[in-house]
Amino acid sequence: MEDRLAFEVFVEIDPGQVTGVSGEAESVCVIPFTGTVKGALFNGTVAPGGADVQTRDARGALHVSARYALTGTDHTGRPCRIYIHNEGRFEDGKLPSPFHTTPSFVTDSPALAERFRRFRYRGEGHGGEGLTIRFFEIREARMIEN
């Protein structure tokens, strides 16, 4: 079975809000963002307060960790929220295109909570004219047992 696109986050970044610090061996960049969300499972917006924290270690490896909340409606039409923690690590220090991440979700939607328990998910980041993060249900026979 082919992985199923669950929803996409269309990221909006204000470059004036990006901050960072470089130390002797490491660097950190904090990228606050907002955006919109569209998809088969959820539609809504990125709530204020989300950020992607990118760290580069002494060996040059890049670690990205985005934490943010979404507000909108699930696929049943019920208003809900989703908290996302999305991680990626790139040992060569380069962000490939697309880049791949491992997300985890917390939601107050019973319908989405069931799906988040039933399937594993993967993320893909696509650049170009802005950044889009796509979340896919992994639809192979590797479903998580309850």
Q: What is the pLDDT of residues 110-137, one digit of tens each?
A: 999 999 999 999 999 998 778 999 999 9
Cα gap 63→112, rounded to integer Å: 28
The 3-state DSSP class for residue 117 equals helix
CA distances from 59 to 21, 27, 63, 101 (A): 17, 11, 12, 20
Q: For residue 75, what are the domain limits?
A: 4-13+33-49+64-138
Q: Does residue 27 belong to any structural domain of this protein? A: no
The 3-state DSSP class for residue 110 equals helix
pLDDT of residue 145: 52
Q: Does residue 24 belong to any structural domain of this protein? A: no
CA distances from 98 to 88, 91, 101, 126, 127 (A): 12, 15, 10, 5, 7
CATH number for the domain including 8?
Answer: 2.40.160.20
Q: Does residue 39 belong to any structural domain of this protein? A: yes
HSE-CB of 66 using CA atoms within 13 angstroms: 25
Q: Does residue 70 belong to any structural domain of this protein? A: yes
Q: Does residue 75 belong to any structural domain of this protein? A: yes
Q: Does residue 59 belong to any structural domain of this protein? A: no
pTM, two decimals, is 0.91
Mean pLDDT value of segment 69-79? 98
Task: Give the mean pLDDT of the chain.
Answer: 93
Q: How many domains does the chain have?
A: 1
Hey, what amino acid is at 115?
A: R
